[in-house]
Amino acid sequence: MHQLSAAVFGPGFFASPQVHTAITIGAVVAIVSAVTGVFTVMRGQSFAGHALGDVSAAGGSGALLIGLTPLPGFVGAGIVGAGVMDMIGVQRLRGRDLATGIVLGAAIGCSALFLYLGTTTGAATGATQQILFGSIFTTTPGTITAVAILGALALASLAAIARPLLLATVSPDIAAARGAPVRLTGLLFMLALAVSVALSALAIGALLSTALLIGPPAAALRLAKTVPGALATACLTGVAATWLGILLAYDSYYWGPGHHSLPVSFFIVAIIFATYLATGLPAARAARRQAAGPAAAAADRGRITA
Amino acid sequence: MFTGFMINAWATATIAAIVAGAVGYFVVLRGAAFPAHAIPKGAFAGAAGASLLGINTLIGLAVFALLGALAIGTLGRRGRQDVVTALALVLMLALGAAFLSLTTQYEPEIYSLLFGQILGVSTTQILPITALGAVCIAAIALLYRPLTLSSIVPEIAEANGIRGYRIQIAFLIVVALATTMTVPVTGALLIFSLMIGPPAAARSFTSRPLLAMALSVAIALITVWAAIAASYLVNWPIGFFVGTIAALSYGTGRGWATWRRTHTGTRPATAPPRQPATDHA
């Protein structure tokens, strides 16, 4: 038994303070991302969810440049970016993507400038990679508190607007007819999304931020029949993928002869992608059955499509 | 400013702008902003892989761009398009992170792949870039009618025997080719700005497809030329200028459309043009 556990968990896995931090922060971020992500995927706003990660990273590099800590830069730029996207975004889906793209393009341009100025003055070595990919192992324990507090804030505001938001998501027309504040709910959601994404981009990098925001919720929405079910499944999937990814990345140091560990982000994303593909299998089977006969497909109705 | 290596910069940037302006018109028309962002950004990982293996970065870019386009196209058939695009992107980036962790790659090289290093274009790169650019323009010309029809009125296109799925795949492949040729010039991230800003601005000025496309190419050309000149003079990265000028041109277009709507009372020019159904048959 001891040998088995030694084979699964590399030497010193449980003793490493870095692993403790990564496990904690990974779980917090995975849960916040999963909850926000279920709404993001249902509303078809994956692009905004991804773009806000880059936008807040641009704010982060700007903050570094003027000597601030990254946190206010990340959150500030995320909120401003979300506000502008919502303001110029036409309510139609295509207009919204375009607005997201324009804001993203401008933010990336600023990112290029900030990083360039940062590297010429020598203030931010390694910042390019850090901001692009990030690493869960380099997060300081101090970040955990900030991430947990702001994450809780984002979740609380989501919970407060959950009912009108769901109605506005599923059928905007009925929501508008009932007098629900569709526009305001949309804006509030964008702001909650911005805070959640800025936090995860800061804590685990823009790459993993998108992966955890979209992957587990998309897989969960394919499996679960109700929204609470999807939320629970997404949280479980996200946390499991994160922890397994951390373990594999830690162990990968002992795999090759070169003693060179692979990035955590690589493992987490690979697990998430495989999960998403696997959850598509029942739907594909149902589609084949539907092609064979409508009666056989009736059993598969009532799913939330994702 | 117009001597030696700068000549290469002007030439490649001009080709890149023409291709981005033309392909970008359909990116905006089809609402494909996310794939247009994801394919170049993910293809960057291919360049990282190519430099790990010691082969030409253009090949790495092309392979990853095409794989990304095919993944988005085929998986998007069953799943949601935006979800699939996001997941394909993070998968490619994660591979890129793994490649980079295996090399002792010099940081500025990564930076230039992402944000563009227009002043570093060598004469040997111009030929493949020009060839790929010509292929892209030819593909857009060939696909023009079915692409326009399926972008504006998908139902009518289907009724005319144009398969939406096939057109989507063909279109994504054109985006992938355009990506491959432009990334060495403008960087993986900013080709996206060129494919979004100028066409979106152009569509605010006119609703006629061909005119809008020509206008889009013109705005893209002005954007890169101004960006090169500014970058040369101030010595700031060209990406900053491309990104901000593209956003500004979009803002100008939106401002113009609003002004016209309030002052002349005409329909906004951004409304999709209607094509008669019999036009194609």
A 102-121 → B contacts, CB under 8 A: 102-113, 115-117, 119
Q: Where are chain A's structural domains?
A: 2-300
Q: Which of A142, A162, A143 is nearest to A154 (CA)?
A: A162
Is B243's CB within 8 Å of A214's CB? no
Please report how many Cα atoms fall inside a 13 Å half-sphere around the Cα of residue A49, on the Cβ side.
Answer: 35
Q: Is the pLDDT of residue A130 over 70?
A: no
pLDDT higher than 70, residue A210: yes
| CA–centroid distance for B160 within its chain | 28
Distance from the Cα of B34 to chain A's closest Cα (Å) equals: 6
pLDDT band at residue A301 under the 50/70/90 scheme: very low
Q: State the DSSP code for A97.
A: H
Would you give the distance in Å from CA A224 to the centre of its chain?
Answer: 19
Calpha distance A218→A41 (Å, rounded): 6
Residues 6+ apart with CB under 8 A from B233: none
What is residue A238's predicted lDDT score, i.e. its pLDDT? 95
pLDDT value at position A125? Answer: 47
The mean-pLDDT minimum among A167-176, A205-214, A225-234 falls in A167-176
Nearest 10 degrees: Cα torsion A160, A166, A168, A174: -120
Percent pLDDT > 90 in chain A is: 30
Nearest-by-CA chain A residue for B36 = A101
Picking from A41, A42, A104, A115 by the largest number of B CB atoms within 10 A of its own CB, the best residue to mutate is: A104
pLDDT at A20: 81
- Report pLDDT digits (tens) over A147-187: 888 889 999 999 999 888 888 888 878 888 888 788 888 89
| Gap between the Cα atoms of A35 and A56, Å rounded | 20
The answer to whether A13 and A254 have CB atoms below 8 angstroms apart is no
The more confidently predicted of residues B155 and A193 is A193
pLDDT of residue B232: 84
Helix or strand (DSSP H, E) at B273: none
Long-range contacts of range A295-303, CB-CB < 8 Å, 24 or more positions apart?
A302/A225, A303/A222, A303/A225
Alpha-carbon gap, residue B255 to B261, rounded angstroms: 10
Residues with Cβ within 8 Å of B139's Cβ and at least 6 positions away in sequence, in order, are B170, B173, B174, B177
Nearest by CB: A215 against B87, B243, B254: B87
Which of the four pLDDT bands, split at 50, 70 and 90, describes residue A281? confident
User: Could you say which of B34, B96, B110 has the minimum Cβ distance to residue A97?
Assistant: B34
What's the length of chain B? 281
Cβ atoms B189, A50 nearer than 8 A: no
Tokens, residue A97: 């993507």
pLDDT attached to residue B30: 87
Q: Which CATH number fits domain A2-300: 3.40.50.800, 1.10.3470.10, 3.40.50.300, 2.30.42.10?
A: 1.10.3470.10
Torsion of CA B176, B179, B181, B182, to 10 degrees: 170
DSSP helix/strand/coil, B78: coil
Give the pLDDT of residue A300.
45
pLDDT confidence bin for A23, thresholds 50/70/90: confident
Percent of chain A with pLDDT over 70: 80
Q: What is the pLDDT of residue A6?
A: 67
Contact of A269 with chain B, judged by CB distance below 8 Å, is answered with yes
**CATH, range B5-279:** 1.10.3470.10
Closest listed residue to residue B140, CA positions, set B9, B22, B259, B274: B22
Query: Domains of chain B: which residue ranges?
Result: 5-279
Is the CB of B80 inside 8 Å of chain A's CB atoms? yes
Task: Collect all residues of chain A within an 8 Å Cβ-Cβ radius of residue B76.
Answer: none
Contacts across the A-B interface (CB distance below 8 Å): 189
CA angle (B100, B105, B109) in 5-degree steps: 105
Q: What is the residue-averaged pLDDT of chain A?
A: 81
Residue B256 buriedness (CB in 10 A; 0-12 / 13-18 / 19+): middle
Band (A243; pLDDT cuts 50, 70, 90)? very high
Which residues 124-183 on chain B approach chain A with CB closer than 8 angstroms? none
Task: Give pTM, 2 decimals.
Answer: 0.86
B192 with A101: Cβ contact below 8 A: yes
Q: Tell whether A215 lies on the interface with B, counting CB pairs under 8 A.
A: yes
CA distance B150 to A291: 25
Q: Mean pLDDT of residues grouped by 10 in chain B (281 residues)?
A: 73 89 91 90 85 82 92 86 92 87 66 66 78 91 87 80 84 90 74 90 88 93 91 84 90 86 63 43 32
Distance CA A170, CA A39 (A): 10
Give φ, ψ of A18 to 5 degrees: -65, -40
Contact criterion met (CB < 8 Å) for B31 and A94 = yes
Q: Residue B133 carries which side chain, given as an amino acid letter? A: G
At residue A245, does pLDDT exceed 70?
Answer: yes
The predicted pLDDT at position A143 comes to 73
Identify which of A151, A147, A306, A159 has the alpha carbon closest to the alpha carbon of residue A228: A159
Instruction: Report the b/e string of A52-73 with b at 16+ CB within 10 A.
Output: bbbbbbbbbbbbbbeeeebbeb
**pLDDT(A83) > 50:** yes
